[in-house]
Amino acid sequence: MTGKGWRGDEKRFSNMRLTVIGTGYLGLTHAVCMADLGHDVMALDVDADKVARASKGEVPFFEPGLEPLLRKNLDSGRLRFTTSFAEVAEFGDVHFLCVGTPQAAGGSADLSCVHSAADALAPHLWRPCLVIGKSTVPVGTARKLAARIREQAPVGDDADVAWNPEFLREGFAVEDSFSPDRLVFGVASQRSAELLRQVYAKLLADGTPELVMDLETAELVKVSANAFLATKVSFINAMAEICEKVGADVVRLADALARDERIGKRFLVPGLGFGGGCLPKVIRAFRSAAKELGVESVVNLLGAVDAINLRRRSRLTDLTRDVVGGTLAGRRLAVLGLAFKPGSDDVRDSPSLQVCGQLVREGALVSVHDPVAMGNAAHIQPDLRYASSVSEAATNADAVLHLTEWADYRVIDPAMLGTVVAQRNMIDARCALDEEAWRSAGWSFRVLGRA
């Protein structure tokens, strides 16, 4: 696969020697896709086990289409892995920084991996080079990082820094890498912009819009895009809170709003809200940065977005308690879906997993199922019963909770599932199941956001 709609004129593009530092969800996908575009790529991680597995063609997380592409590019010789910073500095002059930026205590971004990667790389930079940040960072990071690298690099001011934020979605990472909506180049020099154009020449030739801007604006594009999407989710969930009070139907409301093309339906889905390794931590880090800068409007807006989102989780626990008769103690519950969203095995800040924790703390016996995320979930929450099928999870359940909208769950036969449960109670927290089909099979069907 080389992206859709290539013009196929390979001679027009010159291949480069690139390095990718950090081979998690983002870095491994980026390294594989850059190699598939024809570049020679060396990828580095400090985790030797990850490097060993990637070198054997193994992807340590679930991402459709990535593993065959990894193997193809290992076989072609265009992709290799290492743990040595000296080796990557020797190999290439364009280095992508893709390390993690987790949430620190208090909500700000923990930049320690960014700093340690820069500190490990810089002393080996003897030739003019470009370090391109792809990690999601607070505004102002790139400029400070450039000073930090130049101070330590033998090449001094000829070590340039650019920021090229990444918008790929887990579950669609390969597709998004080859067909991004736009390429954002945050640069401090013409030379950096030129190098970025060479790196992405094929995507640009394919019609991907190129947006060149200063470093700070590029950093802000990423965090404000996340903040906007999170706000859209929390907006409809705030409307759900109103609907619950007055007996209105948030599902019909969302549908009617979405038909206004200025609003649109994407991310306007009421339910359990957002989670994962990106949106929650990004809005908290953005809020924390806005606080430091004294920008109260952003602080207040993002504080409300986060609070509305987290309230959906406790609201679901309340609804479940109501459905099973006022107490969760001793009740058997089946939870369908643990990943923070379908198409991923990522359970970082998973709304479903947090709800499971609340249910267990109130004494419920919780059986769970997920097509791919059970291994990751079991590391975090071993006290759940992990079932190998939907029927096994639902056996003798007093209620079934649909918490991650995997396509597999849409095709469950309600009549068949009705034969194994103790009570036919379905709670659809993702507004994704066919209500009519469940009701006609004799189920009580509740939706989060409807009275």
Ligand X SMILES: NC(=O)c1ccc[n+]([C@@H]2O[C@H](COP(=O)([O-])OP(=O)(O)OC[C@H]3O[C@@H](n4cnc5c(N)ncnc54)[C@H](O)[C@@H]3O)[C@@H](O)[C@H]2O)c1
Positions that interact with ligand X (CB under 6 A): 21-27, 44-47, 50, 98-101, 113, 116-117, 135-136, 166, 168, 170, 277-278
Residue nearest to ligand X (CB): 24
- The least CB distance from residue 313 to ligand X, in Å, is 21
- The least CB distance from residue 92 to ligand X, in Å, is 15
Nearer CB in complex with ligand X: 159/250: 159
Q: Per residue in 355-384, is it b (16+ CB within 10 Å) or e — as a string?
A: bbbbbbeeebbbbbbbbbbbebbeeebeeb
Residue 76, phi-psi category: left (phi > 0), alpha (psi -120 to 50), beta (remainder): alpha
* Rounded-to-integer distance, Cα 212 and Cα 192, Å: 10
- The least CB distance from residue 84 to ligand X, in Å, is 11
98 is a catalytic site residue: no
CB 187 within 8 A of CB 181: no
- The least CB distance from residue 264 to ligand X, in Å, is 22
* Rounded-to-integer distance, Cα 82 and Cα 42, Å: 7
Nearer CB in complex with ligand X: 34/399: 34
Nearer CB in complex with ligand X: 81/445: 81
Nearest partner of 115 among 105, 106, 104, judged by Cα: 104
Q: Which residues pair with 80 in a beta bridge?
A: 42
* Rounded-to-integer distance, Cα 438 and Cα 445, Å: 7
Q: Where are the alpha helices (DSSP H) in 81-214?
A: 85-91, 112-121, 141-152, 173-178, 190-199, 201-205
Among 33, 98, 113, 278, the one annotated catalytic: 278
- The least CB distance from residue 372 to ligand X, in Å, is 15
Q: Let me know how many helices (H) and strands (E) the chain has, helices first.
A: 19, 14
Cα 400 to Cα 321, 391, 421, 436: the distances in Å are 12, 11, 8, 16
Nearer CB in complex with ligand X: 68/180: 180
- The least CB distance from residue 55 to ligand X, in Å, is 14
Nearer CB in complex with ligand X: 133/449: 133
Return the half-sphere exposure (C-beta side, CA atoms, 13 A cut-off) of residue 366.
Answer: 29
* Rounded-to-integer distance, Cα 130 and Cα 128, Å: 7
Nearer CB in complex with ligand X: 131/253: 131
Rounded to a whole number of angstroms, the CA Rg of the chain reads: 24
Residues annotated catalytic, as ranges: 278
